[in-house]
Amino acid sequence: MFSAVFAALLTSAACGRFRPTPIREILRNPAAFEGQTVRISGTVVDATNLLVVKYYHLEDSSGRIAVVARKAVPLRGSQVTVAGKVHQAFVIGDESLTVIVEEY
């Protein structure tokens, strides 16, 4: 009995941890996510691959966020799931830029 309850609790906790975070949640309160690793899923809506910087914008049904790529930049229109750390790049007045720095 104990092992069944333990397995159910473990499975429940693991599912919550691996479920993608809606982008809107991150953008609504970036300070709460600062430095935390999150998983997000969505469609690549644009991508930039220059010699010194690689990034793309990922969009889900709740919002759009920039992802700094460590690996190859996915093609526009690709459906991807990525894990990375949240960083608030800057805040100027009411404007801010929050990015996900992709993990290896």
- Residue 104 has a CB neighbour count (10 Å cut-off) of 6
How confident is the model over 72-87, as pLDDT tens digits? Answer: 999 999 999 999 999 9
Q: How far is CA 23 from CA 28, 30, 34, 77, in A?
A: 9, 10, 14, 17
Q: Are 79 and 43 in contact (CB under 8 A)?
A: yes
Which CATH entry fits the domain spanning 20-102: 2.120.10.30, 2.40.50.140, 3.40.50.620, 3.40.1260.10? 2.40.50.140
Bridge partners of residue 98, in order along the sequence: 88
How confident is the model over 3-57, as pLDDT tens digits? Answer: 444 444 444 444 445 799 999 999 999 999 999 999 999 999 999 999 888 999 9
For the entire predicted model, the pTM comes to: 0.80
